[in-house]
Amino acid sequence: MTIRFDSGCDPVTIALPKGRLAEQAVELFTAAGLPRPELDNGRKLIVESADRTVRYVMAKPGDVPTFVEYGAADLGVCGLDTLRESQRHVYEPLLLPFGYCRLSLAAPAGRPDTPLRYESQPRVATKYPNLTADFFRARGVNAEIIALSGSVELGPLVGLADLIVDLVETGDTLRANGLIETRTILEVQAVLIANRAAYHLKRKAVEQIIGRLRNYLTGKEKRGNRDGGNH
Partner 1 sequence: MTGEMGIRSMGAQTPTGVADYFWAEAYERRRLESLLLDLFRRWGYSDVVTPTFEYAETLSERGSRELQSELCRFLDRDGSMLALRADMTIPVARLVGTRLHDAPLPQRYCYSGSVFRDVELRAGQQREFWQVGVELMGSAAPEADAEVLALTAEALRAAGIPHFRLVVGQMQFFEGLLQALQLDHDARARLTAAIDRNSQPALEAFLQETRLPRRQQRALAELPYLGGEQIDEILHRAEKLALNKTMQAAVANLYAICEVLAAQGVLDSVTLDLSEIHNLGYYTGITFEALAPGVGFRIASGGRYDNLVGTFGAAIPAVGVGLGLERLLLARRKGAAPPPPRPLAPDLIVSTGNRSDAFTFVAQARSVGLVVAIDLEHRRGPALCAYAELMGAQAAIDWGDGRPTLWRLDATQPTSSQLALDDVPHVLAGLMEARNIATASIQREAMP
CB of residue 5 to partner 1, shortest distance in Å: 16
**Which residue number, 83 or 125, has a Cβ lying nearer to partner 1?**
83
**Which residue number, 191 or 209, has a Cβ lying nearer to partner 1?**
191
Alpha-carbon span 191 to 92, nearest angstrom? 7
**Which residue number, 174 or 185, has a Cβ lying nearer to partner 1?**
185
CB of residue 209 to partner 1, shortest distance in Å: 14
CB of residue 200 to partner 1, shortest distance in Å: 5
**Which residue number, 65 or 156, has a Cβ lying nearer to partner 1?**
65
> Cα 18 vs. chain centroid, distance in angstroms?
12
Cα–Cα distance list, 219 to 31, 195, 211, 213 (Å): 12, 26, 12, 10
CB of residue 211 to partner 1, shortest distance in Å: 10
CB of residue 101 to partner 1, shortest distance in Å: 15
CB of residue 182 to partner 1, shortest distance in Å: 23
Sign of torsion, CA 117 122 126 130?
positive
**Which residue number, 27 or 207, has a Cβ lying nearer to partner 1?**
207
**Which residue number, 52 or 175, has a Cβ lying nearer to partner 1?**
52
Q: List contacts with partner 1 (CB under 8 A).
A: 10, 68-72, 80, 88-95, 191, 194-201, 203, 207
